[in-house]
């Protein structure tokens, strides 16, 4: 029970990181026997949808039971004074999450990074003017200090004052690098007591007050809005590319047109799972799981169905609701 609980606790940590920090919506679920880690009792996953309609296994957690403990004779002294084989769990994410970040949010101009994980959250680009050089430099320094905070632990901000590059060149470079927010400060802005802010995700241009407290508050709010917008956009894309199917023909049609996830009833047999894969190229990504009454993820009712429906393949009574997709 403790091994199962720990496995699901880590799965929730992975789900939270993917959604709250990477702004990537994921489906937590149980892997089928054919997709399960060899030797494990259960394998849980978080599944994400990429912008090309393919799924990505973004992280897995395994309840290994006692299988490997018995193979390697790993024991502990129980409270009853008896040596017993341990129950193990194993979990991990990998660099594929970086690829997921690029594919989910990126566009034709380059990276689009969620503010919470962006190494640089804000870049300040001065618009040069010989007559107003000193006042612009002072305004840039003031803005940087306001955002970074007195201890440097505020907004992660950079100033691009390289003289050898034009502002336009800098705009393109920082857009390609995915920095969430760009601030422009030129002679007109200094006179108006403002800074120009440009969002990387939408390209929207805004004018913010240059006063220290007001600027810091406005930028912080904007970064949170960008984080939220990126997640909501990715979730809307996933919902638009999640279909229902009651036959293999319908699964195949989705895979050949819009792609994405297909929710379909499944009898639980490996034969039907293999037949759908052979026909459509789609595998069962997971049997979705939800949180129990205590607010913790539970694998007890993975892929539970409401009512009686037929299997998408064999037309016998279905036992599970499964998510199918072509995947990396």
Give the number of residues written for the chain. Answer: 328
pLDDT, one tens digit per residue, over 33-88 is 999 999 999 999 999 999 999 999 999 999 999 999 999 999 999 989 999 999 99
Average pLDDT (141-150) is 94
Residue 152 has pLDDT above 80, yes or no: no
Tell me the domain boundaries of the chain: 2-105+241-325, 122-222
Those residues whose C-beta lies under 8 Å from the C-beta of residue 258, and which sit 6 or more positions away, are: 53, 241, 243
Q: Which overall architecture, per CATH, does domain 122-222 show?
A: 3-Layer(aba) Sandwich (3.40)
3-state secondary structure of 259: coil
First to last CA, the chain: 32
Q: How far is CA 326 from CA 89, 255, 282, in A?
A: 28, 7, 4
β-strands 75-77, 83-85: how paired? antiparallel
Task: Return the CATH class of domain 2-105+241-325.
Answer: alpha beta
Got the DSSP string for 274-301? HHHHHHHS-EEEEEE-EE-TTSSEESTT
CA 213 – CA 155 distance, rounded (Å): 13
Which helix (H) or strand (E) segment holds residue 103: the answer is helix 96-105
For residue 314, pLDDT beyond 90: yes
Separation CA 145–CA 288 (nearest Å): 47
Specify the DSSP element, H or E, that contains 2: helix 2-16
pLDDT above 80 (res 107): yes
Average pLDDT over residues 89-93: 94
pLDDT score recorded for residue 291: 83
- Which carries the bigger pLDDT value, residue 212 or residue 120? 120
Handedness of CA 315, 319, 321, 324 (dihedral sign): negative
pLDDT, one tens digit per residue, over 8-38 is: 999 999 999 999 999 999 999 999 999 999 9
* Residues contacting 60, CB < 8 A, separation 6+: 31, 37, 43, 44, 45, 91, 92
Quote the CA–CA distance of 41 and 248 in Å, as a whole number.
29
pLDDT of residue 145: 96
Q: How confident is the model at residue 190, as a pLDDT?
A: 96
- CA–CA separation, 313 and 272 (whole Å): 6
Note the pLDDT of residue 130: 87
Query: Do the beta carbons of residue 169 and residue 128 sit within 8 Å?
Result: no
- Backbone region of residue 54 per phi and psi (left: phi > 0; alpha: psi in -120 to 50; beta: other values): beta
pLDDT digits (tens, 9 = 90+) for 263-313: 999 999 999 999 999 999 999 999 999 888 778 888 888 888 878 899 999
pLDDT tens for 174-233 read 999 999 999 999 999 999 999 999 999 999 999 999 998 999 999 999 999 999 999 999
Q: What angle do CA 180, 181, 187 make, to 5 degrees?
A: 160
At residue 301, the pLDDT reads 85
| Strand-strand pairing, 157-159 and 181-185 | unpaired
């Amino acid at each position: 029970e403790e091994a199962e609980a720990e496995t699901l606790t880590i799965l929730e940590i992975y789900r939270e990181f993917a959604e709250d920090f990477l702004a990537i919506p994921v489906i937590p679920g149980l892997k089928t026997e054919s997709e399960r880690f060899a030797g494990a009792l259960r394998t849980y996953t978080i599944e994400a949808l990429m912008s090309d309609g393919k799924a990505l296994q973004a992280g897995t957690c395994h309840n290994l039971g006692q299988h490997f403990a018995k193979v390697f004779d790993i024991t502990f002294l129980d409270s009853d004074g008896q040596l017993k084989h341990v129950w193990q769990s194993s979990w991990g994410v990998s660099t594929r999450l970086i690829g997921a970040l690029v594919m989910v949010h990126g566009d034709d101009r380059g990276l689009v990074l969620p503010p919470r994980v962006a190494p640089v959250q804000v870049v300040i680009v001065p618009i040069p003017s010989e007559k107003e050089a000193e006042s612009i430099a002072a305004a840039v320094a003031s803005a940087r200090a306001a955002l970074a905070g007195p201890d440097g632990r505020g907004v992660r901000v950079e100033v691009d004052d390289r003289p050898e590059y034009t502002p336009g060149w800098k705009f393109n470079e920082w857009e390609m690098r995915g920095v969430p927010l760009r601030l422009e400060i030129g002679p007109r802005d200094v006179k108006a007591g403002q800074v120009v802010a440009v969002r990387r995700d939408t390209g929207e241009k805004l004018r913010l007050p240059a006063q220290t407290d007001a600027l810091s508050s406005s930028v912080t709010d904007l970064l949170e809005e960008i984080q939220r917008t990126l997640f909501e956009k990715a979730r809307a894309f996933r919902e638009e590319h999640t279909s229902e199917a009651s036959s293999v023909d319908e699964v195949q049609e989705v895979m050949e047109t819009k792609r994405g996830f297909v929710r379909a009833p499944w009898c639980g047999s490996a034969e039907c799972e293999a037949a759908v894969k052979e026909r459509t190229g789609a595998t069962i990504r997971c049997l979705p799981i939800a949180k129990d009454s205590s607010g913790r993820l539970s694998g007890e009712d993975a892929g539970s169905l409401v009512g009686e429906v037929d299997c998408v393949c064999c037309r016998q009574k279905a036992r599970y609701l499964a998510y199918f997709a072509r995947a990396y």
